[in-house]
């Protein structure tokens, strides 16, 4: 049976102020609780269907008797009662949800971020909601608008085509914001980022140290981070080594395997073929391996190929990819922890920035 009440004192046999599920009865909001059969209700001290319940012996008290409390907690356990988060949200003005917006939900790097967020969110009773907003589509503003409309408590978002106006909408809604990269600004929430420029610098310097001199670069979507930061590291490493930046060997494509195939086809078809190809992420690099194999080129004997991020597939392809560890799971954990600290704390304080370390991962491809 379902019992509904807006007047706790006339329905519940215990004081509403200590109801185990902290019902909204104190605020005279509607509350629904399923207790099971007529035979089970008296065990909890509840009236049978059709009978009016009585409040405790002292309705003015904020406490109930240990006996009633014990009976209520026992039936809650036996019937598997679950508190209604929506009802609790009416009182707390919280949904206990955290959002993550990524451009490609199939990219293992993004799924690792989501897994890291959940590791922190669930123990604090927050649910993580993951939304996809492709960079080449119109979905990002709509996704942000819908998340804000559903009163998301906190949002983690990358720089994949997001505008300042989008970020300001999130902040203005009262939701807490963490950006995955970009410059720290007090008005735009906290920042978690990896050392993108430094990581690519170390990778290209590693190639130069191994004797490679004509090094191509395949980036992601033009003008979109982290591709630009990684390109800056590539350029800086070549300049530090006294090598020219071969503009004819710099290609911008998507952060996908298909983008890597197309980009590699362009640079490997150059009049003077590169002896190494640096890719802005591992998916691009795997696509480049496909193209090199189709062209009859041996990696790394004819051309070296490197990735970035160190997703699981980087160690499974043949040859295994030389890459840079970009700690996706730790990025997710750090972002979620910042949100939880803001939401469960007083929500104040200056904006924080967390910069996570990278690590070169040498393997067979270079």
3-state DSSP helix/strand/coil % of the chain, to nearest 5: 40, 15, 40
Torsional sign, CA 263, 269, 274, 275: positive
CA distance 24 to 253: 53
Torsional sign, CA 283, 247, 227, 236: positive
CA distance 103 to 86: 29
CA distance 294 to 67: 76
Per-residue model confidence as pLDDT tens digits over 312-345: 999 999 999 999 999 999 999 999 999 999 999 8
For residue 21, the model assigns a pLDDT of 39
Residue 340: closest CA among 178, 150, 200: 178
Buried/exposed code over 188-214 (b: 16+ C-beta within 10 A; e: otherwise):
bbbbbbbbbbbbbbbbbbbbbeeebee
In this prediction, residue 55 has a pLDDT band, given cuts at 50, 70 and 90, of: very low
SS3 130: strand
Strands 190-194 and 353-356: parallel
Q: Give the Å distances, CA to CA, from 68 to 29, 74, 75, 134, 324.
A: 23, 10, 11, 55, 60
The encoded tokens of residue 296 equal 């009859």
Q: Inter-axis angle of helices 164-172 and 139-149, to 10 degrees?
A: 10
Q: Is the pLDDT of residue 262 over 90?
A: yes
Strands 323-325 and 359-361: antiparallel
What is the CA 81 to chain-centroid distance, rounded? 30
Helices (H), the chain: 66-79, 85-92, 108-121, 139-149, 164-172, 196-209, 227-240, 257-268, 282-294, 328-344
Q: What percent of the chain has pLDDT over 90?
A: 60
For residue 102, the model assigns a pLDDT of 92
* pLDDT, averaged across the chain: 83
Strands 2-5 and 31-34: antiparallel
For residue 28, the model assigns a pLDDT of 35
CA distance 168 to 184: 14
Per-residue model confidence as pLDDT tens digits over 228-244: 999 999 999 999 999 99
**Higher-pLDDT residue of 41, 186:** 186
Residue 217: Cβ within 10 Å count: 28
Residue with tokens 């406490």: 63
CA distance 319 to 282: 13
């Amino acid at each position: 049976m379902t019992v509904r009440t807006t007047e706790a004192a006339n329905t519940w046999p215990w004081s509403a102020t200590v109801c185990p599920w902290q019902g909204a009865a104190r605020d005279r909001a509607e509350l629904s609780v399923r207790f099971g059969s007529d035979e089970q209700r008296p065990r909890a001290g509840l009236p049978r269907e059709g009978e009016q319940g009585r409040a405790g012996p002292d309705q003015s008290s904020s406490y109930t008797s240990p006996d009633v409390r014990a009976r209520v907690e026992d039936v809650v356990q036996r019937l598997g009662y679950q508190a209604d988060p929506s009802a609790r949200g009416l009182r707390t003005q919280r949904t206990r949800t955290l959002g993550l917006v990524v451009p490609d939900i199939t990219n293992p790097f993004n799924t690792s971020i989501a897994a890291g967020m959940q590791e922190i969110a669930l123990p604090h009773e927050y649910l993580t909601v993951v939304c996809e907003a492709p960079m080449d589509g119109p979905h990002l503003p709509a996704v942000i608008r819908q998340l804000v409309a559903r009163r998301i408590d906190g949002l983690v978002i990358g720089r994949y085509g997001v505008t300042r106006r989008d970020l300001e909408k999130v902040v203005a809604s009262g939701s807490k914001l963490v950006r995955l990269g970009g410059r720290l600004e007090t008005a735009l929430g906290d920042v978690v980022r990896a050392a993108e420029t430094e990581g690519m610098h170390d990778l290209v310097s590693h190639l130069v140290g191994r004797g490679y001199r004509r090094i191509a670069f395949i980036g992601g979507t033009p003008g979109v981070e982290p591709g630009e930061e990684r390109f800056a590291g590539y350029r800086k490493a070549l300049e530090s080594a006294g090598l020219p930046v071969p503009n004819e060997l710099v290609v911008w494509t998507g952060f996908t395997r298909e983008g890597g195939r197309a980009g590699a086809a362009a640079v490997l078809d150059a009049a003077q073929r590169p002896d190494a190809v640096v890719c802005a992420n591992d998916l691009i690099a795997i696509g480049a391996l496909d193209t090199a194999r189709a062209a009859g080129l041996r990696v790394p004997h004819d051309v070296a190929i490197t990735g970035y991020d160190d997703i699981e597939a980087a160690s499974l392809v043949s040859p295994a990819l030389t890459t840079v560890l970009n700690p996706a799971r730790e990025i997710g954990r750090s972002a979620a922890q910042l949100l939880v600290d803001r939401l469960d704390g007083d929500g104040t304080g200056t904006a924080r920035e967390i910069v996570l370390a990278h690590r070169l991962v040498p393997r067979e491809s270079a």
